[in-house]
Amino acid sequence: MRPAGRAAEKWKNDYAIEGVGQFDLQHLYRAMAWLGEELPKAQQDGATPFVPRTNKDLIEEELFAQRRDLFSDLDIVFFDTTSIYFEGQGGKTIGQRGHSKDHRPDLKQMVVGIVLDQKGNPVCSELWPGNTAGVKSLVPIVDRLKSRLASPRSASWPAGE
């Protein structure tokens, strides 16, 4: 697996995005570290039972709010998970052994989940320890959608829907 910072560096070089040419690999690693920084206790409402809320969550919620219009809703979403494995010393905090979709049960891994709206736009993403079953991640995602990203119309969904 290629380290995420190196993948981001390749990505920034593959697309014409004004201003990114000045960023070095160290800047990308620092940005990813900042995205993963845990929010204060007062901002932990809506956290999944597996990982705390981070700066990433605030950005996702603000981006969703900026895109929202009168017809935006989350009545239908697509949710998918996959596993990513760690080599070497990676995965010290979230890495666990579990069912590996990469057929690497010998390595620690994490589970990555993403929610897409009806148009295929990303809404939010989550990370879980590698031993988290995909079915256990669905309810926390639905809860997050209802509590943090719901429209006034969908915020009244009955529990369990």
Digit-coded pLDDT (tens) for 115-158: 888 888 888 888 888 888 777 778 878 887 777 776 544 444 44
Q: Which helix (H) or strand (E) holds 11?
A: helix 4-14
3-state DSSP assignment of residue 18: coil
pTM of the entire predicted model: 0.70
129 contacts 140 by C-beta, under 8 angstroms: no
DSSP-derived secondary structure for 40-52: PGGG-TT--SSS-
In angstroms, rounded to a whole number, what is the distance separating the alpha carbons of residues 142 and 62?
18
Question: pLDDT tens-digit profile of 6-54?
Answer: 677 777 778 777 888 788 888 888 888 899 899 999 998 877 777 888 9
Q: Give the sheet arrangement for strand 122-129, strand by strand.
A: 78-85, 109-116, 122-129
Q: Which helix (H) or strand (E) holds 6?
A: helix 4-14
